[in-house]
A and B are shown apart, each in its own frame.
Chain A
Amino acid sequence: MKIYLKEVSKSYDKKVIDNIDLNLEGYDAVAIIGKSGCGKSTLLRLMTGIEMPDKGRIIVNDKELNKSNLIEYQDNIGIVFQKHNLFPHLTLLQNITLILEKIKKLPKKEAKEKAINLLDNLHLKDQMNKRPRFVSGGQAQRASIARALATDPEVVFMDEPTAALDPILTKEVLDSVIGLRNLGTKFVFVTHEIYFVRKFADYIIFMDEGKIVEQGTPNILDNPQTKRLQLFLENEGR
C-alpha cells in the first residue's frame, strides 16, 4: 500500500500538524516518535482516516483519500488504540467474530475458526472466552491486535499500544508484535519505547511541534542531526 501525505495540516485549538509531507512507500515497520503533544497520534489518526486534514491531501495508492473512498481504505487497514478499546460486554473471541461475521460477512464457522487462529497466534486461546475486564491489560491489548489483524489488513496502525501498560505487560505486547512482523504484517506505529523502535522499525519519523524534524532509517537514533532529537533521546534515557 502506498501512503503519501502532501502538505497536510490539522488544527484543534492550535495547530497540531503543520504542513507535513511524508511518503511511507516501501517500508514494513514505520515508527513515529516524539515527546507528548508533538502531534504524532494526530498524524496516525490522519493516516487512518479517523480524522481528516484541514489542509493538504492524503494519497493512498495514487487516489486522494476522501469521504467516498474512506470505507474502502479502512477495510484494508487495521488499527490498535492506546487503550485496547475492546467491546466490554463481549468475550475476546466475540470481539473478533462480531467484526468478521457482521461487518465482513464471513460465515459463522469460518469467522470463529479464523478468530481462534488469530488468538492462538497471540497466545490467547485459553483466554478467548473471557471478557476484557477479566484478562490482564497486556492480554486485552494483544486481543485488540488480533482484532486489528482479523480483516487481513495491508497495514496495521498502532497508537502507543503499550502506553497504558506496565513494563512487563509492555514487553509481552511488543514481543507479540515482533512475532507478527516476522509473519509479514506491515506496521505504522506511535511509541515511546525507543528500544522497541531500534529492534523493530525500518523507518523512523521524529516529530516536534507538529512538524517532522528528522526521518530516516534507525541510524538516525545513533547519529541525530538535530538538537531536538538529541535532547529527546537523552530524555528518554537512551
Chain B
Amino acid sequence: MKKFKLVQIVLAFLLYIFLFVFIINEVADVLDFTFLIENKSMLINGAMLTIGMSIASFISSTIVGFIIFLMTESKIVFLKTIANIYKEIIMGTPLLVLVFVVVYIIGVAIGIRNKMMLGFLSLTFYMSPYMTNVFEGAYKSIDSSQFMVMDFYGFNLYQRYRYIILPQMIRPIIPGLINNLSGIIKGTSILSTIAISEIFYATSILSNKSYRYIEGYFVLWMVYLIITIPLSRLAKYLSRQENY
C-alpha cells in the first residue's frame, strides 16, 4: 500500500516535469541565459532587495496586524469598529490598487516621496489584516473554559495575555505567519510598478533590453518558487505538529 502511494507521488512529479519540459520546448527555439549571467549582480541586488523588503514588511505587518487584532478583541466598541473598518477596506482592495493609493494619495497627503518607504507602507497595510486573521484564528483555538478559569481567579488583561493567551497562540500562528511571508514575497513583485528595483523589476529591465522575455521570466519564476515552496512546506510541517 505504501509502495503504491509512492508510485503515485512519483507519477505526479513526472507529469509536472513532462508538462514543464513540453511548454518550455514549445515556446523557446533556443534558450540563452547569457544576458542574465552577465548582469547577475543586478539580479542579486534585486533578490536581496526583495528579501529585505519582504522581511521588513513581514515584521511591520505582524506588529500592525497584532495591534489590529487587539483592537478587534477589545471591549471598547470605538476601537473594535476602527479595526473592522480598516480590515474591510484593505481586504477589499487589490494590492496593485493599494500601491497606487498609497503612492499617489496617501504619500502625497502625508508628504512622503520616498518610493521604498511607500512600497514598504503598501505591503504593511496590505498584509496586516491577513496577519490579524492569523492571530484571530489562534485566539479562537483557545478553549472557552480557560477564559472561565481566568475570570474566576481574577486575571487582569495583562496577565491573561502574558501568561495564558499569548503562550498558547505562538504555535498555531507560526504556519499562518509563514504563509503570509510567502504572500509578501510574491507581493513585492507589484512594487515594480512604482520602479522599485526588486527582482521582478530588475529582471523585466534586463528582458526588455535583450528581448529575451522567456528566459527572464522563467528564471524569475524559479527564484520565487525556490523561496516560497520551502516556506510552504515548512508551514505545512509546523501545522501538523501537535499543539499542547
Contact between chains at B145 and A74 (CB < 8 Å): no
B159 at the interface (CB under 8 A from A): yes
Within 8 A of A (CB), among B140-173: 143, 145-146, 148-149, 151-155, 159, 163-164, 167-168
Question: A48 contacts which chain B residues (CB < 8 A)?
Answer: 152
Contacts A99-B153, A102-B159; A87 near B148 (Cβ below 8 A): no
Q: Report how far A75 CA is from B163 CA in the complex, Å.
A: 20
Q: Report how far A102 CA is from B163 CA in the complex, Å.
A: 9
Contacts A87-B164, A89-B168; A103 near B149 (Cβ below 8 A): no
Distance in angstroms from A138 CB to nearest chain B CB is: 18
Closest to B149 in A: A85
A88 at the interface (CB under 8 A from B): yes
B4 at the interface (CB under 8 A from A): no
Closest to B167 in A: A89
A1 at the interface (CB under 8 A from B): no
Question: A50 contacts which chain B residues (CB < 8 A)?
Answer: 148, 151-152
Q: Report how far A48 CA is from B153 CA in the complex, Å.
A: 12
B244 at the interface (CB under 8 A from A): yes
Contacts A102-B163, A131-B244; A87 near B146 (Cβ below 8 A): yes
Contact between chains at B159 and A103 (CB < 8 Å): yes
Contact between chains at A133 and B244 (CB < 8 Å): yes
Main secondary structure of the interface of B (DSSP, over half): helix
Question: A192 contacts which chain B residues (CB < 8 A)?
Answer: none
Distance in angstroms from A99 CB to nearest chain B CB is: 6
A-B contact count (CB 8 A): 42
A98 at the interface (CB under 8 A from B): yes
A125 at the interface (CB under 8 A from B): no
Chain B residue total in the interface (Cβ 8 A): 17
Q: Report how far A131 CA is from B242 CA in the complex, Å.
A: 13
Contacts A71-B154, A98-B163, A103-B155; A85 near B244 (Cβ below 8 A): no
Q: Which one of A48, A71, A83, A102 has the highest number of Cβ atoms from chain B below 10 Å of its Cβ?
A: A102
Q: Return the CB mask of A72-113 against B: 1 if under 8 Å, else 0.
A: 001100010101010111000000001100110000000000
Within 8 A of B (CB), among A114-161: 131, 133
Distance in angstroms from B244 CB to nearest chain A CB is: 4
Q: Report how far A48 CA is from B149 CA in the complex, Å.
A: 12
Q: Report how far A88 CA is from B152 CA in the complex, Å.
A: 17
Distance in angstroms from A29 CB to nearest chain B CB is: 21
Distance in angstroms from B148 CB to nearest chain A CB is: 7
Q: Report how far A195 CA is from B244 CA in the complex, Å.
A: 35
Question: B244 contacts which chain A residues (CB < 8 A)?
Answer: 88-89, 131, 133
Contact between chains at A85 and B155 (CB < 8 Å): no
Contact between chains at A81 and B145 (CB < 8 Å): yes
Contact between chains at A85 and B153 (CB < 8 Å): no
Question: B159 contacts which chain A residues (CB < 8 A)?
Answer: 102-103
With beta carbons under 8 angstroms apart, the residue of A75, A88, A133 that contacts B168 is: A88
With beta carbons under 8 angstroms apart, the residue of B148, B151, B163, B167 that contacts A81 is: B148
Closest to B244 in A: A88
With beta carbons under 8 angstroms apart, the residue of B145, B168, B243 that contacts A85 is: B145
Contacts A131-B244, A133-B244; A74 near B152 (Cβ below 8 A): yes
Closest to A101 in B: B163
Closest to B171 in A: A89
Contact between chains at B149 and A87 (CB < 8 Å): yes
Closest to B159 in A: A102
Contact between chains at B154 and A85 (CB < 8 Å): no
Q: Report how far A79 CA is from B150 CA in the complex, Å.
A: 12
Q: Return the CB mask of B83-126 against A: 1 if under 8 Å, else 0.
A: 00000000000000000000000000000000000000000000
Apart from A50-B151, A88-B168, what 17 extra A-B contacts exist at CB < 8 Å?
A50-B148, A74-B152, A81-B145, A81-B148, A81-B149, A85-B145, A87-B149, A87-B168, A88-B143, A89-B244, A102-B159, A103-B153, A103-B154, A103-B155, A103-B159, A131-B244, A133-B244
User: Can you list 26 A-B pairs with a CB-CB distance of less than 8 A?
Assistant: A50-B148, A50-B151, A50-B152, A71-B154, A74-B152, A74-B154, A79-B152, A81-B145, A81-B148, A83-B145, A85-B148, A87-B146, A87-B149, A87-B164, A87-B168, A88-B143, A88-B244, A89-B164, A89-B167, A89-B168, A89-B244, A102-B159, A102-B163, A103-B154, A103-B155, A133-B244
